[in-house]
Copies of this chain bind each other. A is one copy, B any other.
Amino acid sequence: MSKITKAACIGGGVIGGAWAARFILGGIDVNMYDPHPEAERIVGEVMANAERAYAMLTMAPLPPKGKLTFSKSIEEAVQGADWIQESVPERLELKRGVITQIDASADPKALIGSSTSGLMPTDLQRDMKYPERMFVAHPYNPVYLLPLAELVGGQKTTRATLDDAKARLATIGMKGVIINKEIEAFVGDRLLEAVWREGLWLIKDDICDTETLDDVIRYSFGMRWAQMGMFETYRIAGGEAGMRHFIAQFGPCLSWPWTKLTDVVDLTEELVDKIANQSDAQSGAYGIRELERIRDENLVGIMQTLKGSNGGRGWGAGKLLAEFESHLWANAPKPEAKAGKDPLNLLEIKVNPSWVDYNNHMTEYRYTQCFADGSDALLRLIGVDMEYVADGHSYYTVESHVRLLDEAKLGDNLVVTMQILPSDGKKVHSFMWLRRASDGALLSTCEHLMLHVSSKEGKSVPPLPSVLEKLQPLIDAHAGLPLPEGAGRHVGQKRG
């Protein structure tokens, strides 16, 4: 499978920095070139946001982070890279010059993507020696979370390049969407531009203010568009008769005199003031960093929600997230079940915003979730994987006893460890501890019992040898350990 082994980012603002974050969190080393005196600070801030978001986004095993190196020149940055992403300011001459320089120094087989939001790839690749491997890969802010990249080729770009780019982006959780023909602004910015222009008229003419306009979007079609697009949504609106009916019903509106879009609004000083002031009134209570964090939490939550959609098969960006996680699991080094006298280290977890109450304390049932995820980690360790389950065998939890001893708080890093209590493999009886990583404080314990079940026979049976041979050494290693404090307890039992 094609992948990205080393990346170069030329230009490191909000967009270039977030590309770098995507690569680094995907385990890819990045050379960054940006002459801006504050480039390192800006990229560092974007990285911090991205790491925070990823910690919330997925519990799948991210690879060890790639290394970020700041290079002194384009020539130096592109050495050894097989994906080079250009994100310099949006001026044709500048971008073309940079891309031509990249082309001259890079491996002729390296892919070269431009982050331009509107320039034509044919114009950008004009002076290249190897133009067939250059294309637009237009992402959306925040690049580290939003998965879309519009892939647009110029006249000299090969289709193989676009297909390859799409396949490689999938390995860092992105959705490459190939656009058939190059036009200025491609597809996404065409649509956004249309809304932006109409919106400016509505503000200028005092039909509404910026907050009202935003509310109209986010309390209605914004939520439709997060999961389906425009055509699929209207297909539903058409009812059983479908798309044709919808167009018949609503198409004629197009010739109604409903829009101001036949002209371009004049961005006078006065209009700019008006918009800026309305925006302050609307959102000024929050700082930009705060808005960024809220936005990212919401995007994470929406993607996680969509991951569980459609009967667990996933939908839209959530389906993509599930695929990315499968990729991460498949590429994670197989953990070795190392038998030893110490409790097993099973899991690290970060308390994310959707897990806490208004006091920022972790909700009661999330403790059970941590332990359920801990026992899942044990199962992976002993070879109970998707294949084993698909073959008709699995472990089911039948009983658990949880004590809540202290509060886990938003942002805490938690660690789950486990001692296996006397077990025969058909039963796995264990005791888990949930601790805060920073100071080792014990927050919760769980005594847990799983049964190995054959779905074909509909009853509990011993595990297959492939699993038992990994499990037995763990059982044996813990056999001589004393019973942990709290094991064998019933609810309300006095300590001691």
Contacts and interface: CB of A to CB of B under 8 A. Distances in A.
Interface stretch (A29-37, A222-230, A334-342): A222-230
A228 B221 contact: no
Nearest to A241: B288
A224 B459 CA distance: 48
A490 B489 contact: yes
A221 B265 contact: no
Nearest to A372: B364
Contact of A231 (B141, B265, B282): B282
Interface string A341-375: 00000000000011011111001111111001000
B210 A231 contact: yes
A194 B210 CA distance: 17
A237 to B, nearest CB: 6
A317 B177 contact: no
A195 B191 contact: yes
Contacts of A211: 231
B309 A399 contact: no
Given A190-B202, A191-B221, A200-B254, 11 more contacts: A140-B221, A147-B219, A175-B219, A181-B206, A185-B258, A191-B198, A191-B199, A298-B305, A305-B354, A365-B365, A447-B490
Given A184-B256, A191-B216, A239 B14 contact: yes
Interface stretch (A70-78, A121-129, A271-279, A461-469): A271-279
Nearest to A279: B243
10 contacts: A140-B220, A175-B215, A185-B259, A188-B221, A217-B225, A218-B226, A218-B229, A231-B283, A242-B279, A261-B261
Contacts of A222: 222, 224-227, 229
Contact of A368 (B186, B188, B206, B364): B364
B302 A368 contact: no
Interface stretch (A97-105, A400-408, A474-482): A400-408
Contacts of A244: 272, 276
Contacts of A404: 396-399
Contact of A229 (B118, B215, B372, B449): B215
Contacts of A313: 358
A172 B196 CA distance: 32
Contacts of A229: 210, 213-218, 222
A86 interface: no
Contacts of A236: 141, 288, 291-292, 295
Contacts of A421: 492
Interface string A100-118: 0000000000000000001
A150 interface: yes
A140 B292 CA distance: 28
Q: Please indicate which of the listed interface residues A217, A279, A364, A365 has the most CB atoms of chain B within 10 Å of its own CB.
A: A217
